[in-house]
């Protein structure tokens, strides 16, 4: 008997309504206190192509994707062989026996369970359309009975998921009951060797949430007052969720909403609106993915060169071009760091979890306004759209950092105001906001060459000095960006460097390495430019592996550029097939490079 440590995969057809039933299973397991994660692999079309939903239960709280499934529910004839092959030896293949396929495909080393879903569902509704949808809840009922999810828990999840829709609740509960009854009478659940067992206080203080929802809430509490966007997978739900919650959470005492949302005609318009709003004093952001980021390149240079606060939240997906719109990657790193033409360099934030997406909802604006520049946050589809167990999201209450903004009173005490002058030696100039009623407040915001007083200039020395100051300001940013998170192991013979959602598999990777007497230290990057802690970590290891989800080792390249003297220490480990990265893959790559396989 194996409890709370197995993988379930459901294979269905996109647009069949299976997402609701899969969510019910994940949420029910979470409410049992079990460490669980849910990953949806879906096609970019509206309906008809294959989709898979993977649920991982882990006693060690590992949340990364794991190859090999202990239970597969096969509901799609077009992928039936692939789904059969994905079952681990000794596992279970639960399939719709109404599907017409050659039984020779069924394997002898797994337990094959055919279920007549059509006959089970025939009395659930008079509507043919609804019957097709309810089949999904029937398989959820079968699985819940076999692995011992208490009926009252799954009923509570359905009631919450379809709140205020009594007819929907009733029909789904009926389908769950039909599936459970069939399993109880026909499948001998007591002999099923995979079980979900309640864990007392297992998820106390935790929530189950996707990164995009956490991002939207973080932006609201982080003071966002302007959001522009153009729809693109997988970032659209940030803007939609922001609008949903802001209606309730961002209302002033007079009942007015103190924010603005604009759906722009394209991504260039969206970032241009953000720059205008940031120039006017708003905490402004646009949400996009890789193709949209490409279109924002020209305006990104304006934000950098004219020193206007702005934020782009990039939920990365497979590329180039349209690429794989519904698959995950970390392939915008190198492009984002130098987005635009000329000598342009941007601050990057690298959240690893929904909780950090929430936290960075304020951090991105604090940095943009403190440093008067563009900040790009790099999330990805796996983090943004899939379900993760997270600490509760609680506003910190820390004040907003608005940076060097001069008021009328401030200007009264100054002999002069030069918009682009380095007064304090940190390369960060002072600014005023439009509408500041003072004779010294006005200036021209220029995307062309300019002197410290904001006057137009094409003088080569003035231009050179301006670029040198912007470079110095980027170095100053190291004092403000989030420090890396480091887990030292004094006995370590190797160091691992990762960032973003890749962090989710590093603990499991280290566990596998430890079993082979390969101890390791780990550094999770949280921002670019790199701080001194990064240099220290590199200096203290003879061999370092940079793990990331792109083909060309883009973060590895940034690290080598930062530390060319350490090029021979830094080795790249990549995965770039569009699927969430696996610990087993990274473990094998490290062992190969170590000469241990």
CB atoms within 10 A of CB 169: 17
DSSP structure string for 250-307: SB-TTS-B--EEEE-SSHHHHHHHHHHHHHTT--EEEEE-HHHHHHTHHHHHHHHHHT
Question: Does residue 596 register a pLDDT over 90?
Answer: no
- Write the pLDDT tens digit of every residue in 51-98: 999 999 999 999 999 989 999 999 999 999 999 999 999 999 999 999
User: What is the 8-class DSSP label of residue 340?
Assistant: S
pLDDT of residue 597: 78
Average pLDDT (101-126) is: 93
**C-alpha–C-alpha distance, residues 183 and 190, integer Å:** 10
Q: What does the pLDDT look like over 285-323, one tens digit per residue?
A: 999 999 999 999 999 999 999 999 999 999 999 999 999
Q: In what order do the strands lie in the sheet with 485-487?
A: 485-487, 520-525, 494-499, 544-548, 570-574
Work out the percent of the chain whose per-residue pLDDT is above 70. Answer: 100
Residue 216 reports pLDDT greater than 90: yes
Identify how many contiguous H helices and E strands the chain contains and give both numbers. 20, 22
Beta-ladder partners of 497? 523, 546
User: Tell me: the pLDDT tens digits for 135-151?
Assistant: 999 999 999 999 999 99
* pLDDT per position as a tens digit, 472-526: 999 999 999 999 999 999 989 899 999 999 999 999 999 999 999 999 999 999 9
| 132 pLDDT tier (thresholds 50, 70, 90) | confident
Query: Tokens 């998170």 belong to which residue?
Result: 485
d(CA 472, CA 417): 21
CA atoms within 13 A on the CB side of 573: 27
| Mean pLDDT confidence for 228-240 | 97
- Starting at the earlier edge strand, list the strands of the sheet with 226-229: 260-263, 226-229, 284-288, 310-316, 374-380, 347-349, 527-528
Confidence (pLDDT) at 128: 79
> What pLDDT score was predicted for residue 273?
98
Contact assessment for residue 50 and residue 42, using Cβ atoms and an 8 Å cutoff: no
Report strand pairing: 260-263 vs 226-229.
parallel
**Which residues, including other chains, have CB under 8 Å from residue 76's CB and lie 6 or more apart?**
11, 12, 13, 50, 83
pLDDT at residue 45 in the model: 81
Is the Cβ–Cβ distance between 556 and 538 less than 8 Å? Answer: no
- Please state, in angstroms and rounded to a whole number, the distance separating the CA atoms of residues 493 and 514: 11
User: What confidence category does residue 166 fall into, taking pLDDT thresholds of 50, 70 and 90?
Assistant: confident
Q: Is the pLDDT of residue 126 over 80?
A: no
The β-bridge relationship of strands 485-487 and 520-525 is antiparallel
Closest CA to 53 of 28, 18, 91, 96: 18
Give the model's pLDDT for residue 164: 81
Mean pLDDT lowest among 13-17, 140-144, 317-321, 534-538 = 13-17
Residue (of 114, 40, 20) closest to 75 by Cα position: 114
Distance separating alpha carbons of residues 414 and 423, to the nearest angstrom: 12
Instruction: Supply the mean pLDDT for the chain.
Output: 96
Mean pLDDT over residues 115-137, rounded?
88
**C-alpha–C-alpha distance, residues 416 and 103, integer Å:** 85
Position 142 scores a pLDDT of 98
Q: Are strands 374-380 and 347-349 parallel, antiparallel or unpaired?
A: parallel
Bridge partners of residue 114, in order along the sequence: 95
Quick: pLDDT tens for 423-449.
Answer: 999 999 999 999 999 999 999 998 999
Q: In whole angstroms, what is the distance from residue 503 CA to residue 378 CA? A: 14
How far apart CA 511 and CA 88 sit, in angstroms, is: 21
Q: How far apart are CA 427 and CA 421, in angstroms?
A: 8
Mean pLDDT value across residues 582-594: 97
pLDDT tens profile 323-364: 999 999 999 999 999 999 999 999 999 999 999 999 999 999
Mean pLDDT on 391-416 = 96
Sheet bearing 387-391, strands edge to edge: 111-115, 87-96, 69-74, 7-13, 50-57, 36-41, 387-391, 206-210
Which stretch of DSSP H or E encloses residue 159?
A: helix 151-161
Q: What is the pLDDT of residue 161?
A: 93
At 563, is the pLDDT very low, low, confident or very high (cuts 50, 70, 90)?
very high
Distance separating alpha carbons of residues 32 and 189, to the nearest angstrom: 19
**Helix H or strand E encompassing 518:** none
Q: Which two tokens stand for residue 347?
A: 């601050």
- Residue 536's Cβ-side half-sphere holds a number of Cα atoms within 13 Å equal to 11
Report yes or no: 19 and 37 within 8 Å, Cβ to Cβ: no
């Amino acid at each position: 008997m194996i409890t709370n440590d197995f993988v379930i995969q459901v294979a269905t057809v996109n647009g069949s309504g299976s997402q609701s039933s899969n969510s019910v299973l994940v949420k029910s397991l979470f409410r049992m206190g079990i460490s669980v994660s849910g990953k949806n692999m879906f096609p970019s079309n509206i309906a008809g192509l294959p989709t898979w939903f993977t649920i991982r239960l882990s006693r060690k709280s590992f949340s990364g994707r794991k190859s090999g499934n202990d239970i597969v529910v096969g509901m799609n004839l077009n992928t039936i062989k692939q789904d059969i092959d994905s079952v681990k030896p000794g596992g279970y293949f639960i399939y719709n026996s109404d599907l017409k396929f050659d039984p020779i495909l069924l394997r002898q080393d797994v337990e094959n369970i055919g279920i007549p879903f059509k006959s089970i569902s025939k009395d659930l509704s008079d509507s043919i359309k609804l019957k097709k949808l309810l089949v999904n809840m029937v398989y959820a009922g079968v699985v819940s009975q076999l692995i011992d999810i208490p009926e009252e828990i799954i009923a509570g999840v359905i009631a919450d998921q379809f709140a205020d829709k009594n007819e929907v609740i009733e029909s789904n509960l009926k389908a769950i009951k039909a599936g459970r009854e069939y399993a109880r009478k026909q499948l001998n659940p007591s002999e099923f060797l995979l079980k979900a067992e309640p864990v007392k206080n297992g998820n106390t203080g935790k929530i189950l949430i996707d990164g995009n929802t956490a991002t939207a809430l973080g932006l609201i509490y982080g003071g966002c007052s302007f959001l522009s966007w153009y729809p693109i997978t997988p970032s659209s739900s940030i803007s939609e969720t922001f609008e949903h919650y802001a209606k309730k959470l961002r209302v002033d005492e007079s009942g007015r909403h103190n924010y603005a949302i604009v759906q722009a005609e394209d991504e260039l318009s969206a970032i241009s609106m953000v720059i205008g709003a940031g120039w006017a004093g708003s905490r402004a952001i646009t949400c996009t993915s890789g193709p949209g980021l490409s279109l924002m390149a020209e305006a990104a240079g304006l934000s950098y060169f004219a020193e206007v606060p702005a934020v782009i939240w990039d939920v990365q997906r497979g590329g180039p071009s349209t690429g794989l719109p519904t698959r995950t990657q970390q392939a915008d790193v190198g492009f984002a760091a130098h987005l635009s033409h000329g000598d342009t360099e941007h601050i990057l934030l690298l959240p690893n979890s929904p909780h950090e997406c929430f936290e960075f909802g304020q951090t991105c604006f604090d940095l943009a306004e403190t440093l008067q520049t563009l900040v790009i946050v790099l999330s990805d589809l796996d983090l943004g759209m899939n379900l993760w167990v997270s600490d509760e999201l609680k506003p910190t209450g820390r004040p907003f950092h608005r940076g060097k903004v001069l008021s009328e009173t401030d200007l009264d005490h100054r002999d002069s105001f030069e918009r682009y002058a380095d007064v304090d030696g940190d390369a960060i100039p002072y600014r005023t906001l439009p509408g500041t009623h003072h004779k010294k407040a006005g200036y021209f915001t220029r995307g062309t060459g300019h002197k410290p007083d904001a006057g137009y200039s094409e003088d080569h020395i003035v231009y050179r000095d301006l670029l040198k100051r912007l470079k110095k300001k980027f170095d100053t940013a190291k004092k403000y960006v989030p420090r890396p998170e480091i887990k030292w192991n004094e006995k370590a013979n190797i160091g691992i460097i990762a960032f973003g959602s890749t962090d989710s598999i590093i603990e499991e990777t280290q566990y596998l390495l430890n079993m082979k007497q390969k101890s390791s230290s780990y550094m999770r990057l949280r921002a670019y430019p790199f701080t001194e802690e990064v240099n220290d970590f590199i200096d203290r290891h003879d061999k370092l592996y940079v793990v990331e989800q792109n083909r060309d080792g883009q973060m590895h390249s940034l690290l080598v550029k930062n530390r060319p003297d350490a090029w021979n220490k830094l080795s790249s480990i990549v995965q770039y097939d569009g699927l969430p990265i696996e610990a087993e893959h990274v473990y094998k790559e490290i062992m190969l490079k170590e000469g241990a396989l």
